[in-house]
Amino acid sequence: MSDSASPAVPLRRRSLRGLGPLSRDDLAANLGFADVAAEEGVADIMRPGALRGAARGRNLDSVAYTLFLRIYPVIAMVVLLTQAAIAWVNYNDQYRLYTERAEVMATLVAASIAQPGWNRDPARSRAALDALTRDPAFRYAALHDASGRTVVAAGQMPRTRPWELAHVSADLVPAGGTRAEGSLTVVLSTAALRASAEKQAMLSLAISLLLMLTFVATLHRTVRRHVIARLKRLLVAMREVEHKRWATVAMDGEFRPRNEIDVITQAFNNMVEGLRSGDEAKQLLRDLAAAHAKLEQANRLVIESIGYARCIQSSVLPDHAALDRAGIEVAILWEPLHLVGGDYFWLEEVDGLSFVVVADCTGHGVPGAFLTLIVATALDRLLHERGLRSPAAILAGLDTMVRAQLRQDGRGSESDDGLDCGICVWDRDARTLLFAGAGLSLTVIRDGVAERIRGEKRGLGYPRTGREVLPERDVSVPVAGATFYLMTDGITDQMGRPDPARPARLIGQKAVTGRLAAHAALPLAQQVAALEVELAAYRGPEVRRDDMTLIAFRPR
């Protein structure tokens, strides 16, 4: 499908796919033509396929002709009637002035004739009438005595239509008299007046025709330029939209609509943008649906793999009842942040000694889980191949083996991973408990009083800096009446909002220890379960940020 526009129309075009053909009603409704679309002309334009002809201007040319035929006769009739009325008024004014002039002439001549005994001197009266004949419009004049008899006449009464003559008369009243002794009748021709009126009418008609032609030409040019041409651009754009080429119509550089066509153009552009956005949205939704399906498939495979990895990691962890025969009660909370995690614990009895180990490896999830496998392998070798029994010695050996396994012995290593670890060794026969920690501490609760035995402030397995301080000796811890807790920082570093008006803060070691001390009288399993519930309540809507591991134990 082509994405080019007709060179005659300045369109901005965007090619997208995805929407079906537009119906007449849909397009008309979006343009605000819902009521007008029922009209015959708009219905023809909106008919499927009609936009091809509209794009070539045929429909709009017929619109221009229709406008011409509807407007021109009205304008012509109004102009002609106006000019005819003006000509008639002018003619009547001229005729009135002409008649008044004739009356003045007749009055003056009558006054000159009205002398006592005027009817006895016809020669004198004829001289006065002869003076009237010098007027080019003169046709006939007659003097009548008091009885109405014609005394003197000049000219000949014309036989023509009455409206072509002007008849005036004046009474002959002698000076100082009050009674008329006769009358003077004068008949003038209005041919000159009529000829002047005809010339004026022809001139007015010519001027009217010139004005009408000028008006029609100007109107035609203006309509074609400012209406028809812009409607053609709209129709060409509609044709493009019909083929799902999202063309918009330029508004002649105007940012605000100035007339109805600008409003229609702006509405059309908004409609096109909406259709384009809808088409893009549909395509995006299809792409997202396809990507989501692929993501779900990939996620399902990853979850299945990690789920299987959890089975493997769980199988590496010791049995919770591993120290039952050694006379140690144990309760365990092990909850990775994800399906697998970087926290690890070790429970084993070797040569009458019970080992309780908690390790917090770098990171969580799959990377942390890989480190726990390295730690498990190292602990097995240290206990069974090298026969180490001292917690401090085991930590030192674990430090060396993890660093070597991760190839972090030399400088410039890209890896920077390790672990924190706490180890307790219970000698059942001697009734002694030894502890050594690197980054982890041992919490002891005895008679409701909590004590924290800190390990060294460093981790194991990280690249050497020359400032490492490993535990050099074991710490002997009294056992009588005591309960012991080894935990990772995932327990104490949980965020919560005890006061909603204040920012979230860590629960901390002190608060966790206080909660454990509050439940010290309960069996260990109930203590651990109660702590887990209280931690969840403390977090509230906050998410957990790390793996959690807690081992509670006490010799029976």
Is the pTM higher than 0.75? The answer reads no
CATH H-level superfamily of 317-555 = PPM-type phosphatase domain (3.60.40.10)
How many residues would you count in the chain? 556
Q: How high is the pLDDT of residue 129? A: 80
Sort residue 461 into left (φ over 0), alpha (ψ -120 to 50) or beta: left
Domain locations along the chain: 102-191, 317-555
| Cα–chain center distance at 372 | 52
Q: Which of 249, 235, 263, 286 is nearest to 16 (CA)?
A: 286
Fold match between 102-191 and 317-555?
no
Distance CA 128, CA 146 (A): 19
Q: Which residues contact 175 (CB under 8 A, 6 or more apart)?
A: 114, 115
Q: Which of 186, 211, 191, 174 is nearest to 129 (CA)?
A: 186
pLDDT, tens digit (0-9, with 9 covering 90-100), for 437-471:
999 999 999 988 999 999 988 889 888 776 666 77
Which portions of the chain are predicted below pLDDT 70?
1-64, 252-258, 410-414, 466-469
CATH of 102-191, one of 1.10.150, 1.10.287, 3.90.1150, 3.30.1140: 3.30.1140
